């Protein structure tokens, strides 16, 4: 990953956040090439089940396939006026009732429109992230040396294709059109794919991006009353929980043999990814569209009181316990614990990690199990 020195940056500097965004925009791009710097590994050791936990996950994945074309109620008419797309009532209050907010000048119709555009923007980022997962797991099939992991990752490639398919269909059929990829998200996905070390694909995608997605989907699933999206997310989450568990189960073994210096690099990579994901939720593209100064708005968002940042904090509800399980929080001098404390998300460290809870996400297991806040 192109490392900023994580000890030297001001993580809440709006200029830093917006400069990164400005440097990474090409609105006309249709195909985007990233060098993946990796060797494709054959293994001649075909002994299935040598890694029993991965084998169990593979067998489960084969039994858990669903069809995005026929298993979801696509006949549902989606009327955003009726379904209230807002997913975070505290953010809504902060944005529209705080007299300091750059958004107070918007009238009721503009607020409603902003809410709808933010919703479309969010789902578009989910879709782009799903494509990132599709490419990353295809890379893992090639680069991981273990046959059980190649088998499992191959099922995940199919899962991710299905996720891209259903998000894309929802956005283009029900919401009339997509937003381009957020620059922070694009940079993060590029860096994950670009890294030559196969365990970094796992850490960046399975632990960080998918851990965040699992939490975000859980929040939206729990708050939306739009029935098609609710069901779509429930199906996707059943897969995502396996994906995150795959990451944790694989990396546990890899990290056992790593030196202190190698672990420290993973801690820094994880934090850099966490920061990019936080910044991608600041949605500066949407503010610009409504004539709101993105710098003022980004600053205002970062100054949101801690107790109101429930959604922003919950995004880390899976990442932090999984980093703990991997030993990344406290390795060395506890560098990552300090960083997660600084950005206010260490509170989740004792939540269940995903290797313990992934079966709770099974489609038959009930919706109450998939909420992020227990
Ligand atoms: Fe996915
Ligand atoms: Fe996934």
- The widest CA-to-CA distance across the chain, in whole angstroms, is 66
Of residues 257 and 17, which shows the higher confidence score? 257
Residues 6+ apart with CB under 8 A from 283: 118, 121, 122, 182
pTM: 0.93
List of residues 6+ apart from 308 with CB closer than 8 A: 90, 91, 93, 94
Q: What is the C-alpha separation between 62 and 134, in angstroms, rounded?
A: 17
Distance, CA 142 to ligand 1 centroid (Å)? 19
Round to whole Å and give the CA distance between 200 and 154: 18
Most confident of 12-26, 147-161, 281-295: 147-161
Ligand 1 mean position, distance from CA 240 (Å)? 6
> How many Å lie between the centroid of ligand 2 and the Cα of residue 288?
30
CA separation for the pair 198, 276 (Å, rounded)? 21
State the ligand closest to the CA atom of 233: 1
Architecture of the structural domain at 54-63+81-370: Up-down Bundle (1.20)
- Placement of tokens 């940079």 in the chain: 187
**What separation in Å is there between the alpha carbon of 162 and the centre of ligand 2?**
10
Write out the two tokens for 32: 């985007």
pLDDT (average), residues 57-71: 97
- Which residues fall inside 5 Å of ion ligand 1, going by CB? 130, 133, 160, 163
337 C-alpha to ligand 2 centroid (Å) = 25
Give the count of beta carbons closer than 10 Å to the beta carbon of residue 252: 14
Residue with tokens 């893992």: 140
- Taking the centre of ligand 1 as the mean of its atom positions, its distance from the CA of residue 156, in whole angstroms, is 8
| The two structure tokens encoding residue 143 | 């680069």
> How far does residue 355's CA lie from ligand 1's centre (Å)?
17
Q: Tokens 């206010």 sit at which residue?
A: 344
Q: In this predicted structure, what is the pLDDT of residue 178?
A: 92
The Å distance, Cα 113 to ligand 2 centre, comes to 30
* CA separation for the pair 362, 368 (Å, rounded): 11
From the CA of 161, which ligand is nearest? 1
Q: What average pLDDT does the segment 166-195 reach?
A: 94
Averaged pLDDT of the chain: 91
The answer for residues whose C-beta is within 8 angstroms of residue 328's C-beta and 6 or more apart is 255, 263, 266, 267, 270, 336
What's the gap in Å between 160 CA and the centre of ligand 1? 5
More confident residue, 3 or 276: 276
Point out the ligand nearest to the CA of residue 164.
Answer: 1
What confidence score (pLDDT) does residue 79 get?
87
Structure tokens at 338: 């300090």
Give the model confidence (pLDDT) of 315-362 as tens digits: 999 999 999 999 999 999 999 999 999 989 999 999 999 998 898 898
Determine the Cα–Cα distance for residues 118 and 285; give it in Å rounded to an integer: 10
The distance of Cα 50 from the centroid of its chain, to the nearest Å, equals 30
**pLDDT digit string, tens, across residues 280-325:** 889 988 998 899 999 999 999 999 998 899 888 999 999 999 999 9
* Predicted local confidence at residue 371, as pLDDT: 63
Q: What is the domain partition of the chain in residue ranges? A: 54-63+81-370
Do residues 193 and 139 lie in contact, with contact meaning Cβ atoms separated by under 8 Å?
yes
How many angstroms does the Cα of residue 132 sit away from the middle of ligand 2?
9
Q: Give helix 108-143 / helix 210-223 axis angle, nearest 10°.
A: 140
Q: CB of 124 within 8 A of CB of 178?
A: yes
- Separation of CA 194 and ligand 2 centre (Å): 19
């Amino acid at each position: 990953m192109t490392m900023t020195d994580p000890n030297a940056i001001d993580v809440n500097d709006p200029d830093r956040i917006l400069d990164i965004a400005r440097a990474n925009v090409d609105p006309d791009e249709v195909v985007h090439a990233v060098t993946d710097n990796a060797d494709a590994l054959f293994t001649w050791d075909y002994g299935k089940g040598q890694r029993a936990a991965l084998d169990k996950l593979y067998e489960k994945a084969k039994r858990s396939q669903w069809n995005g074309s026929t298993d979801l109620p696509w006949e549902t008419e989606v009327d955003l006026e009726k379904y209230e797309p807002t997913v975070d009532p505290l953010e809504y209050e902060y944005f529209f009732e705080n007299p300091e907010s750059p958004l107070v000048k918007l009238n009721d119709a503009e607020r409603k429109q902003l809410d709808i555009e933010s919703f479309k923007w969010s789902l578009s980022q989910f879709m782009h992230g799903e494509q990132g997962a599709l490419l990353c797991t295809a890379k893992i099939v090639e680069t991981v040396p273990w046959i059980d992991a190649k088998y499992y990752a191959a099922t995940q490639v199919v899962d991710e294709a299905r996720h891209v398919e259903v998000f894309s269909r929802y956005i283009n059929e029900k919401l009339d059109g997509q937003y381009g990829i957020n620059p922070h998200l694009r940079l993060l996905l590029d860096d994950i794919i670009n890294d030559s070390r196969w365990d970094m694909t796992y850490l960046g995608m399975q632990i960080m991006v998918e851990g965040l997605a699992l939490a975000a989907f859980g929040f939206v699933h729990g708050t939306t009353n739009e029935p098609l999206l609710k069901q779509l997310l429930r199906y996707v989450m059943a897969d995502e929980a396996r994906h995150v568990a795959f990451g944790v189960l694989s990396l546990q073994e890899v990290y056992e043999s790593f030196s202190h210096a190698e672990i420290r690099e993973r801690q820094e990579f994880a934090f850099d990814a966490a920061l990019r994901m936080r910044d991608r939720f600041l949605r500066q593209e949407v503010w610009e569209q409504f004539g709101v100064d993105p710098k003022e708005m980004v600053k205002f968002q970062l100054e949101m009181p801690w107790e109101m940042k429930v959604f922003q904090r919950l995004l880390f509800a899976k990442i932090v316990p999984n980093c703990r399980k991997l030993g990344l929080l406290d390795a060395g001098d506890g560098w990552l614990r300090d960083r997660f404390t600084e950005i206010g998300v260490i509170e989740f460290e004792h939540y269940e990690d995903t290797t313990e809870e992934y079966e709770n996400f099974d489609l038959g297991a009930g919706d109450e199990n998939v909420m992020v806040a227990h």
